[in-house]
């Protein structure tokens, strides 16, 4: 059996593959408002098409997206257009010096050649006039402001207090493909410990240590998937293939993670949602500490995971039986009291559980038998 120290070293190795911070740690890339803004200018949208045309023509632009009436107090001069939005018209208007105002729904180009006059006392670290104006407008109005640099051919997005410069699609694709390879490694390692856990469950030989390594790897896998999902927002239509690969790799990981919590929380399955939230809020270094994970599952810090035996309630194993509803799984677990009792239950005992009946009882018994046989084959192939 691996030691606690061995588990931590393995997790640290996974971290070196590119694992990132937890959702609870400050990561501006994950902020909902910024993600929503990136989705609006992602490849495949008409707005992004217009922006790309502006960059290719080596023009600059200052684009403000919001309610024109609410923004009008900033305007000086300009041309009122009220024309339907098209990428071509956006590109043509960028040839003028002033800002372009687009309504919130991106359906109309409302103004062009507008001089914006935000509050000059608003702090700005930007050096260029266009970027400084963009930052101040975003901070003052909470509108989405896009600044396109003519000299550097870069796109910078300002949302409230947040500033984000877009990377090239090629760079984002390269980074995301690397993350996919890391996710594949995470998933393989998770499958290994899940297979081992299932074998130990049927043998009645699970230690808390075995549960914690599964929980740790499941959380790492889910977090890496979250990073890739975030990059897919920025990739827009260019990320279709990556999304398909992500869905295949992630699979039932979130379900399995929740089922492990339901099976092994010290105070029962009703703590599942709260525990998953706490698990997701752990910093990466905390995720490496098994005493922290044990406390998250409701166990005292004094417990030694290596020699503390635990018994599964049966949620995860029963969830692997096809066409068995969650409500029925819950009743079976509650009525019989744990996986060991469920495995030993007779046809009649299973039939007596509310919502099971003759057919489902037979399916449960047959499903458990298949899982035991399949698990033995998997374990033999891994040895």
Whether 107 and 216 share a structural domain: no
Q: Does the structure show a pLDDT above 70 at 281?
A: yes
Start-end of H helices in the chain: 4-16, 32-40, 46-56, 68-71, 87-93, 129-141, 169-203, 208-235, 240-250, 253-264, 272-281, 284-287, 290-296, 315-319, 326-336, 339-344, 347-351, 357-382
pLDDT digits (tens, 9 = 90+) for 188-198: 999 999 999 99
Q: Does the structure show a pLDDT above 80 at 126?
A: yes
Q: What is the CATH number of the domain that holds 64?
A: 3.40.1700.10
Indicate the number of domains in the chain.
3
Question: pTM for the full model?
Answer: 0.84
Q: Does the structure show a pLDDT above 80 at 382?
A: no
Q: Identify the domain boundary among 295, 312, 329.
A: 312
Whether 302 and 177 share a structural domain: yes
Sign of the CA dihedral running 340, 343, 347, 350 = positive
Flag whether 382 is in a domain.
no
Q: What is the mean pLDDT of the chain?
A: 89
Whether 325 and 301 share a structural domain: no
Decide: 182 and 18 in contact? Cβ < 8 Å.
yes
Decide: 275 and 15 in contact? Cβ < 8 Å.
no
Whether 21 and 154 share a structural domain: no
Whether 211 and 335 share a structural domain: no
Buried b (16+ CB within 10 A) or exposed e, 206-224: bbbbbbbbbbbbbbbbbbb
Mean pLDDT: which of 81-85, 147-151, 321-325 is highest? Answer: 81-85
Flag whether 198 is in a domain.
yes
- In the structure, what pLDDT confidence band is assigned to residue 150 with cuts at 50, 70 and 90? confident
Q: What is the CATH number of the domain that holds 261?
A: 1.20.1260.110
- In the structure, what pLDDT confidence band is assigned to residue 380 with cuts at 50, 70 and 90? very low
pLDDT, position 5: 42
Whether 54 and 146 share a structural domain: yes
Whether 124 and 215 share a structural domain: no
Q: Identify the domain boundary among 134, 150, 165.
A: 165
Decide: 375 and 199 in contact? Cβ < 8 Å.
yes
pLDDT, position 121: 96
Whether 260 and 234 share a structural domain: yes
Flag whether 216 is in a domain.
yes
Q: What is the CATH number of the domain that holds 362?
A: 1.10.150.20
What average pLDDT does the segment 301-312 reach? 94
pLDDT digits (tens, 9 = 90+) for 3-59: 444 444 444 444 444 444 555 455 667 789 999 999 999 999 999 999 999 999 999
Burial of 143 (0-12, 13-18, 19+ CB in 10 A): buried
Flag whether 383 is in a domain.
no
Flag whether 8 is in a domain.
yes
pLDDT, position 30: 79
- How many degrees, rounded to 5, is the angle at CA 284 between CA 299 and CA 198? 55
Flag whether 246 is in a domain.
yes
Q: Which domain covers residue 303, as residue numbers?
A: 1-25+168-312
Whether 292 and 192 share a structural domain: yes
Q: Identify the domain boundary among 297, 312, 327.
A: 312
Decide: 109 and 100 in contact? Cβ < 8 Å.
yes
**Phi, psi values for residue 114, rounded to 5°:** -90, 135
What average pLDDT does the segment 119-128 reach? 93
Whether 47 and 160 share a structural domain: yes
Position with higher pLDDT, 18 vs 187: 187
Buried b (16+ CB within 10 A) or exposed e, 68-94: beebeebbeebeebeeebebebbbbbb
pLDDT digits (tens, 9 = 90+) for 201-212: 999 999 999 999
Q: Does the structure show a pLDDT above 70 at 372?
A: yes
Start-end of H helices in 236-356: 240-250, 253-264, 272-281, 284-287, 290-296, 315-319, 326-336, 339-344, 347-351
What distance in Å separates the CA atoms of residue 207 and residue 200, rounded to the nearest whole number? Answer: 9
pLDDT digits (tens, 9 = 90+) for 222-275: 999 999 999 999 999 999 999 999 999 999 999 999 999 999 999 875 567 889
Flag whether 33 is in a domain.
no
Whether 1 and 47 share a structural domain: no
Whether 144 and 203 share a structural domain: no
């Amino acid at each position: 059996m691996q030691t606690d120290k061995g588990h931590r070293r393995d997790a640290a190795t996974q971290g070196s593959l590119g694992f990132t911070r937890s959702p609870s740690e400050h990561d501006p890339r994950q902020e909902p408002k910024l993600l929503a803004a990136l989705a609006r200018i992602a490849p495949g949208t008409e707005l992004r098409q217009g922006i790309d045309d502006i960059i290719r023509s080596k023009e600059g632009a200052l684009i403000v997206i919001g309610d024109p009436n609410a923004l009008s107090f900033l305007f000086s001069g300009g041309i009122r257009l009220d024309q339907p939005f098209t990428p071509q018209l956006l590109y043509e208007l960028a040839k003028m010096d002033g800002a372009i105002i687009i309504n919130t729904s991106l359906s109309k180009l409302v103004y062009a050649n507008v001089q914006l006059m935000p509050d000059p006392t608003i702090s700005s670290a930007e050096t260029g006039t266009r970027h400084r104006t963009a930052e101040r407008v975003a901070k003052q109005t909470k509108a989405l402001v896009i600044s396109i640099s003519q000299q550097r051919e870069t796109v910078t997005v300002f949302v409230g207090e947040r500033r984000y410069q877009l990377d090239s699609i090629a760079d984002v694709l390269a980074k995301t493909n690397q993350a996919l390879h890391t996710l594949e490694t995470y998933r393989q390692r998770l499958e290994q410990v899940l297979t081992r856990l299932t074998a130990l469950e049927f043998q009645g030989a699970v230690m808390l240590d075995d549960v914690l390594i599964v929980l740790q790897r499941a959380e790492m896998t889910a977090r890496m998937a979250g990073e890739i999902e975030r990059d897919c927002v920025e990739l827009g239509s260019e990320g279709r293939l990556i999304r398909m690969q992500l869905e295949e790799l992630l699979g039932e990981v979130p379900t399995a993670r929740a089922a492990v919590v339901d099976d092994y929380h010290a105070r029962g399955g009703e703590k599942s949602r709260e525990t998953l939230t706490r698990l997701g809020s752990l910093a990466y270094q905390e995720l490496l500490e098994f005493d922290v994970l044990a406390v998250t599952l409701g166990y005292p810090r004094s417990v030694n995971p290596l020699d503390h035996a635990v018994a599964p309630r049966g949620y995860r194993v029963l969830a692997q039986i096809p066409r068995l509803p969650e409500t029925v799984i819950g009743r079976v677990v509650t009525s019989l009291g744990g996986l060991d009792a469920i495995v030993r239950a007779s046809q009649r005992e299973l039939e007596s559980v509310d919502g099971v009946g003759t057919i489902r009882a037979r399916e449960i018994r047959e499903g458990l038998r298949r899982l035991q046989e399949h698990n033995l084959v998997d374990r033999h192939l891994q040895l």
